[in-house]
């Protein structure tokens, strides 16, 4: 069995196509179940973010699996096969492993080194486990990817220059609010995480640059990206931060936590039904709701502009959502500035502040990825020979038990002590004979091309490696310590 990866990302596809390919959580579960139910696919894992939709699958044969995955992806998303052929990338076996490890490290992110992708990979593992499409191979691969990502961030300074897409988005938005001010925004640690947990008082007391002094902010959504944005703007001196979310309690908790953590900054919750009206009281709107339709239409924004005709600065709307939350037609409204993922991609391409990550760390992280891929492949090859080793030992024990039974028939009057000594001696002989070949074949199998050694054992001893039960259920997806 091999790993196949098929995906669309900001590197391969226009944002409009990524928006069409984005699926809700329930739709992803259905798609993964359909893929896993096909004869060509055994396990499925989907990594879905605002910048990518990727399918990782354990497959037996490349072409049938690729046809199944692309056909179902096209059917579920409405993206034609022609568009998928033009924009999708395909990685197989070792290349698929390398790609996932690079994604988990943030090397493939719009903002190189951003740390949010680790949480997104972890959520993808939990979703696949919940949907019953996660087996041993992809569970082990996903857990290894999480460890590789953590290692990259622990051993290097990859994320020091630009922590995430929120930072880049706020940099671009600040430039629209105050031309020439770019470079002043620094990502804030999430003193108030998603859901509005209590602030870390020592962390909140640290002095911060006040890049957003006098700016009123409206945050739409209360998930991880929205909470990070709320923390960052509050810490950068925003006058007020209003939070609107479909689940009112989450908005209230986040707003309360912001007020406590960043006093005298005022945080308040806004009913989601009144979010459009609240735009009139904001200078900057940050939206990342995960909604499948528009949250703010051009008419909503026009009404907000008319309700505040004496603005001294433009109304800036930062849309971090995919599918988009804010109507593209807002770009045509005088007095409004829309910043969306397409703008961020262009900013990253031209090397905007916060877009590059710790550039000196990139080669180091790439070497880490190469090391981890080599180690993963060695372990995988060794695992592949494990059923053969079990089958060899099983056959040896069967021969031993047969000979002991024959001895019992030939020497029925043998005493218990003598019988025990003979049995122990024969078992020691078998163990010693089996030890060196089984240890050595595992070592040799870990090398590139090492599967030939397992094939040789099966041929020489007439083994059936499928006979022993060598398959285990995947362990639960690890939490923060994965």
Q: Closest Cα partner for 255 from 194, 314, 342, 302?
A: 194
| Ramachandran area for residue 176 (φ above 0: left; ψ -120 to 50: alpha; else beta) | alpha
- How far is Cα 212 from Cα 189, in angstroms, rounded to an integer? 17
> Mutual orientation of helices 362-410 and 94-105 as an angle, nearest 10°?
130
* Total residue count of the chain as it appears in this document: 482
- How far is Cα 126 from Cα 199, in angstroms, rounded to an integer? 27
Compute the radius of gyration of the chain from its Cα atoms.
29
- How far is Cα 448 from Cα 254, in angstroms, rounded to an integer? 52
- How far is Cα 291 from Cα 115, in angstroms, rounded to an integer? 23
Say if residues 443 and 381 touch (Cβ distance below 8 Å): no
Cα of 372 vs its chain's centroid, Å: 17
- List CB contacts of 327: < 8 A, sequence separation 6 or more: 294, 296, 297, 298, 300, 301
- How far is Cα 23 from Cα 471, in angstroms, rounded to an integer? 32
- How far is Cα 216 from Cα 332, in angstroms, rounded to an integer? 23
Q: Using the 8-state DSSP alphabet, how is residue 183 labeled?
A: T
Q: Is 50 a catalytic residue?
A: yes
Q: Using the 8-state DSSP alphabet, how is residue 252 labeled?
A: H
- DSSP per-residue string spanning 433-450: HHHHHHHHHHHHHTSTTT
Burial code of 334-343, b = ≥16 C-beta within 10 A, e = fewer? Answer: eebbbbbbbb
Q: Closest Cα partner for 323 from 108, 81, 9, 24?
A: 24
Alpha helices by DSSP H, listed for 362-468, are 362-410, 416-445, 451-461
Query: CA distances (Å), 223 to each of 124, 283, 292, in order?
Result: 16, 21, 15
Q: Which of 50, 105, 257, 288 is catalytic?
A: 50
Say if residues 368 and 154 touch (Cβ distance below 8 Å): no
**Residues belonging to the active site:** 50
């Amino acid at each position: 069995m091999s790993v196949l990866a098929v995906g669309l990302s900001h590197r391969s596809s226009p944002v409009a196509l990524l928006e069409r390919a984005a699926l809700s959580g329930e739709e992803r579960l259905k798609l993964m179940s359909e893929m896993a139910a096909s004869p060509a696919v055994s396990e499925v894992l989907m990594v879905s973010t605002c910048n990518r939709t990727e399918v990782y699958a354990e497959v037996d044969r490349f072409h049938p699996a690729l046809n199944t995955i692309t056909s179902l992806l096209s059917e579920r998303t409405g993206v034609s096969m022609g568009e998928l052929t033009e924009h999708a990338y395909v990685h197989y076996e070792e290349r698929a492993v390398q790609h996932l490890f690079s994604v988990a490290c943030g090397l493939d992110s719009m903002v190189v080194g951003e740390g949010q992708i680790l949480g997104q990979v972890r959520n993808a593992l939990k979703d696949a486990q919940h949907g019953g499409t996660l087996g041993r191979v992809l569970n082990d691969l996903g857990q290894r990817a999480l460890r590789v990502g953590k290692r990259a961030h622990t051993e290097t300074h990859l994320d020091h220059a630009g922590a995430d897409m929120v930072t880049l988005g706020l940099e671009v938005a600040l430039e629209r609010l105050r031309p020439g001010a770019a470079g002043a925004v620094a990502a804030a640690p999430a003193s108030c995480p998603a859901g509005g947990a209590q602030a870390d008082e020592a962390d909140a007391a640290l002095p911060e640059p006040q890049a957003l002094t006098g700016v009123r902010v409206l945050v739409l959504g209360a998930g991880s990206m929205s909470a990070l944005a709320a923390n960052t703007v509050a810490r950068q001196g925003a006058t007020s931060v209003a939070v609107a979310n479909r689940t009112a309690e989450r908005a209230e908790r986040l707003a309360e936590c912001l007020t406590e953590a960043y006093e005298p900054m005022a945080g308040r919750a806004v009913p989601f039904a009144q979010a459009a009206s609240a735009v009139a009281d904001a200078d900057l709107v940050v939206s990342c709701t995960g909604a499948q339709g528009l949250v703010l239409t051009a008419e909503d924004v026009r009404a907000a502009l008319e309700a505040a005709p004496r603005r001294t600065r433009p109304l800036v709307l930062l849309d971090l959502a995919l599918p988009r939350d804010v109507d593209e037609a807002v770009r045509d409204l005088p007095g409004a500035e829309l910043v969306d993922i397409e703008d961020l991609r262009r900013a990253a391409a031209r090397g905007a502040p916060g877009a590059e990550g710790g550039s000196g760390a990139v080669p180091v992280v790439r070497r880490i990825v190469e090391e981890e891929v080599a180690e993963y492949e060695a372990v995988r090859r060794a695992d592949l020979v494990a059923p053969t080793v079990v089958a060899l030992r099983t056959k040896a024990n069967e021969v031993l038990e047969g000979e002991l039974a024959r001895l019992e028939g030939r020497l029925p009057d043998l005493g218990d002590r003598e019988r025990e000594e003979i049995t122990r001696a024969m078992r020691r002989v078998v163990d010693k004979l089996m030890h060196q070949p089984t240890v050595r074949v595992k070592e040799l199998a870990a090398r590139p091309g090492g599967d030939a050694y397992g094939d040789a054992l099966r041929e020489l001893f007439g083994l059936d490696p499928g006979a022993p039960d060598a398959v285990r259920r995947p362990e639960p997806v690890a939490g923060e310590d994965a």
